[in-house]
Amino acid sequence: MTSNALAEPVRRVGPWWISAISLGNLALFLGYLGPLQVLLPEQVAAVAPAGKEGALAWVTGVGALVAMLGNPIVGALSDRTVGRWGRRHPWTLAGALTGGAALAFLAFQSTVVGIAVGWCLAQAALNAMQAALTAGVPDHVPVSQRGEVSGWIGVPQAVGVVLAVVLVTMVATTTRSGYLLLAVVIPLCVLPFILTTPDPRLTERPPFRLASFWISPRRHPDFFWAWITRFLMQLGNSMATLYLLYFLTDAVGYERLFPGQKASDGLLILILIYTVCVVLTTVVGGVVSDRIGRRKLLVTVSGIISTVPTVMLAFWPLWPVAMVAAAVLGVGFGVYNAVDNALVTQVLPTAEGRAKDLGIINIANSGPQVIAPVIAGPIVAGLGGYPVLFLTATALALLGAGLVWRIKSVP
């Protein structure tokens, strides 16, 4: 069975497999986005109203550091897991259950330190789950179908933003009940994938080498450039969205414009607009990249489109402009996420280390969450405010969109 687990897949996956892994990814992003978009900002603002920006940056930054370290480590462990239940599913289930428990713990915290501890626990668990789920694509999906599958997996990421905000603002009416609701929903959503899809076993455990966590840019330059591209794009995005709730409150003046509403209501409207545009473009972008085989071109074009909203918000912090920006961002990032995820699976160094290598790629997602608060916090506090923040995010994303052309092995 070892050869089956490590072989390059050639058989297309069916609708049920795609639906089940998409539902698992929906659970994952509910766990990430419900707290990040609403619960953590509201909880931190209630605990430390005078220094909410700095406190939120500290909490999310420390949590992202845990994610940055945990994802490749758990990926390496799942690459070496030998057992009757396979090598990925046990980690998916353990991450979902532990992540739910961590969110339940967060529900009862009333200090910034307690919130930080709870979010670190949640990040560690959810990243274990992500490491296993992400490896499912190169484990099971042939290269010719990866754009399409990455597109379908990208839909739950976008829908997860809306559903998470709806669950924690409308279904659950308090911060505590929002955390508890997510703690229950996440494990339930991963069960269909775990119980109904195959997970080929390893019969021999590969050796564990610390040196394997270092992937030489000289020996694997395409992997290196894929990482850099992802890192810069995500750093720009993280900086632009970290203080979005506060931006609506302090710069747009949403609550003054619409008396009786909260800034979180405006955030939900923007997320809905963004989500509709992502859903309309992400699968199409992935399918087109499969058919024309030009992943780098689509990454660059979609990356450039994704910088338009930050320029708009930098110069026109108005509510109508924010709605248009949300639509444009949805179009750009919808295509980018599907195509770039497919591209990354084509530059992995070895079949034996797929989850570990994807975990290293995921550092390019979580690392910016550590760095973004360090850069964005001082900018918002006094080094130019939101206009400088958004223009800095624009420059980073443009650089990332251009550097994808340094990759040579993928068209």
**4 located within any domain:** no
Q: Count of domains in the chain? A: 1
DSSP letter string, 156-220: HHHHHHHHHHHIIIIIS-SHHHHHHHHHHHHHHHHHHHHHHS--PPPSSPPPP-GGGG---TTT-
Percent share of the chain, pLDDT over 90: 65
Rounded CA gap, 336 and 349, in Å?
22
Which residues span the domain enclosing 230? 12-198+217-406
**296 located within any domain:** yes
Residue 8: per-residue pLDDT = 84
pLDDT digits (tens, 9 = 90+) for 332-378: 999 998 999 999 999 999 888 899 999 999 889 878 877 888 888 89
**333 located within any domain:** yes
Task: Report whether 332 contacts 308 (CB < 8 A).
Answer: yes
The structure tokens listed for 81 are 């897991």
Closest CA to 34 of 131, 194, 176: 176
Q: Is 106 helix (H, G, I), strand (E, B) or coil?
A: helix
**300 located within any domain:** yes
**Angle 335-396-276 from CA coordinates, rounded to 5°:** 30
Query: Of the ranges 33-37, 107-111, 163-167, which is most confident?
Result: 107-111
**7 located within any domain:** no
**2 located within any domain:** no
The structure tokens listed for 307 are 């910088």
Q: Where residue 76 sits, what CATH number does that domain have?
A: 1.20.1250.20
**208 located within any domain:** no
Count the Cβ atoms, other than its own, within 10 Å of residue 204. 9
pLDDT digits (tens, 9 = 90+) for 170-226: 888 899 999 999 999 999 999 999 999 999 888 778 777 777 889 999 999 999 999
**25 located within any domain:** yes
Closest CA to 196 of 23, 341, 353, 345: 23
Instruction: Report how far apart the first and last C-alpha atoms of the chain are (Å, whole number).
Output: 33
If phi over 0 gives left and psi between -120 and 50 gives alpha, with beta otherwise, what is residue 293?
Answer: left
pLDDT digits (tens, 9 = 90+) for 8-54: 888 999 999 999 999 999 999 999 989 988 899 899 999 988 888 88
Closest CA to 187 of 309, 98, 82: 98
Residues 6+ positions from 241 with CB-CB distance below 8 Å: none
Count the Cβ atoms, other than its own, within 10 Å of residue 297. 15
